[in-house]
Each structure stands twice: as C-alpha cells, then as structure tokens.
Structure 1
Amino acid sequence: MKTYVLKTELAIPISLDKAWDFFSSPLNLAKITPKEMSFVVTSDYSADTKMYPGMIITYIISPLLGIKMNWMTEITHVKEGQYFVDEQRFGPYALWHHQHHFKDVEGGVIMTDILNYALPFGIIGRLGNAILVRKQIDQIFEYREKAIKELFGQMK
C-alpha cells in the first residue's frame, strides 16, 4: 500500500486557549471545509462538546460529483492544548491518520497538520491519487487556511 504525507503549518493570531477551543470542537470542522463537499457532522454532539480519546465522529460528505458518502473517524490521542489525532474507521481511504498540533508562539499559535493517507485498490488508487485525490486534499487544506484567516485574521 502506497502512503502519502501532507504537512501544513499556519500561524494564527489567537491565543492557544482560543485555538484549542475552536479546533477541538467536532462541529467547527464544517466551518472550515469547502461548501461543495456538503460536509455534515451526523454525530449527536453539542457545540460545547470537546474531543476526547475514543470519541467517534460520523459525517456525510460529497467528495466527488455530489455522491454522498458516510465517513467515521475516531479521536485516538488527545493532549490538551497541544495535539489531537483523528483516524478513519470507515470511509473512502485505506488509511487516514491526521495529527493536529498547536504551539503557543509570540503573537498567536502555530497550527501544524500532518496527514498520512493511503487509497485502496493498489495501482488504481495510486493513479487516482495522482489524477484527483491529492489535488482535492490540497484544495481542502488551502480552503481551510483561507477560512481560518477569515475567522481569526492573519499573523503579521
């Protein structure tokens, strides 16, 4: 199985507490996901629910041609104010391991995402990644960066 890695960093001009409060709420993910993905959290969580190890989050997404898919992730690791990890339990990937790290710096927070993923179907999956999937993942993370800057501003 061929695995791929994407690493992004974003400087956000907010406190670590505010960053943690926003990003550790499962319902806020929809606020930073492209609208065309029709991303909906279907788990029954309230706006003040925070992530914890073992938490299962379910979604409906439309990643391609408006086709709806179910997706389930588990929050496998949480270190309050520092990082959390979500891993796919059911969905379109053969592997999805997404680390979210937060570091307090002067003037704000550095948020680092490290995504390791793989596609099913061997050579067909590798071809699909080269033609479509990697570009789509890149676009999602570019959208996230833009949405986060619109929500919180940009560090100088």
Structure 2
Amino acid sequence: MKVYTFEKEILVHAPKDEVWAFFSSPGNLLKITPAYMNFRILSCPDVPEIFTGMLIEYRVSPVLNMPLKWVTEIKDVDPGNRFMDTQRSGPYALWEHTHTFSDAPQGTLMNDKIHYALPMGPLGRFAHGLFVRRQLQALFEYRETRIRDLFKTQA
C-alpha cells in the first residue's frame, strides 16, 4: 500500500483559543467544505467540542457526484493544541489527519498533516496521479480562503 502525505500550514490572525473553538466544533466543517462535494453530517454527538473516541458519520460526493459514506474517529485530543481524525470506514485505505494549533506572533499557526492511502493497488495509484492529489490540494486551498474570510485575515 502506497502511503502519501499532504501538509498545509496557515497563519490565522486570531487567538489560538478562538481558532481551536471553531475547529473543535464538528458542525463547522460544513462551513469550510466546497458546496460541490455535497457534504452532510449524518450523525455526531450533540456536544460543543470534540473528544477522544468521538465518531462522526458523513456523506460526501467528491467524484462525479457519487455519494460516499465516511465515518471518522477523533483521536489524541489535546484541547487547544492538537487532535487527529482517522477514517473508520470510507473511500480511503488509510486516512490519518492531524490538526495542530500553535501560538504565533501574529495569531495562530494551524497545520494540517494527512497520511493517506488509496485502495485498489495500481488503480488507486493511477487515480491519485490523475485527480486525488489535485482534489485534496484544491480542497485545502478552498479551506484556506474560507478560513481567511471567516477570521477576516489576509494572506
């Protein structure tokens, strides 16, 4: 299984506690996901902040408007600093997404690091080269734009 790594860093001109509050609330994921993905949260505990062991079930249509069910588990929550979401079931053979938040002179440095792999061996590697990597980059570019808008920050 070929494991890929994707990393994105954003400086958000807002205090870390404010940035953490936004990203630790599962419902806010909808605010930073492109509409074309038809993202919906199907089930999630009704709590104000994520916790270790929390399961979230989504429906998303990332390719050709085909709906896919995706279940993630929240792991390794260090409130205010870090959490990880891992795929329990969904389109990837592996998905481990670590979110870290650290104080910076002008606000909060936010880092997303994803280790992921696709199913179906050579076909998955072909799909990665054809569109998966670019789609992931485009998703995080969209998120950066939305985050800057939501927090009224500049590049």
In structure 1, distance between residues paired with 2:121 and 2:64 = 22
Equivalent residue number for residue 12 of structure 2: 12
In structure 1, distance between residues paired with 2:68 and 2:131 = 17
Structure 1 residue 42 displacement after superposition: 1.1
| Equivalent residues of 2:45, 2:54 under 8 A apart | no
In structure 1, distance between residues paired with 2:154 and 2:99 = 19
Equivalent residue number for residue 96 of structure 2: 97
In structure 2, distance between residues paired with 1:155 and 1:16 = 17
Aligned length: 155
Find out whether 1:136 has 2:135 as its counterpart.
yes
In structure 1, distance between residues paired with 2:65 and 2:75 = 30
Give the TM-score, by structure 2 length.
Answer: 0.96
Please list every run of 5 or more consecutive structure 1 residues that lacks an aligned counterpart in the other structure.
none
Equivalent residue number for residue 3 of structure 2: 3
In structure 2, distance between residues paired with 1:126 and 1:114 = 20
In structure 2, distance between residues paired with 1:11 and 1:118 = 27
SS in 2 for 1:42: strand
What is the one-letter code of the residue matched to 2:53? G
Equivalent residue number for residue 73 of structure 1: 72
What is the one-letter code of the residue matched to 1:41? I
Equivalent residue number for residue 21 of structure 1: 21
Ranges of 4+ aligned residues in structure 1 off by more than 3 Å: none
| Equivalent residues of 2:44, 2:55 under 8 A apart | no
| Equivalent residues of 2:92, 2:119 under 8 A apart | yes
Structure 1 residue 155 displacement after superposition: 5.0
Equivalent residue number for residue 38 of structure 2: 38
Please list every run of 5 or more consecutive structure 2 residues that lacks an aligned counterpart in the other structure.
none
In structure 2, distance between residues paired with 1:128 and 1:155 = 34
Could you list the per-position Cα deviations for residues 11-60 of structure 1 after superposition, in whole angstroms to 9, with x for gaps in the alignment?
A: 001111101100001110010011100111111444x5211100000000
| Equivalent residues of 1:14, 1:152 under 8 A apart | yes
- Over the matched positions of the two proteins, sequence identity in percent amounts to 44
What is the one-letter code of the residue matched to 1:56? L
In structure 1, distance between residues paired with 2:72 and 2:44 = 14
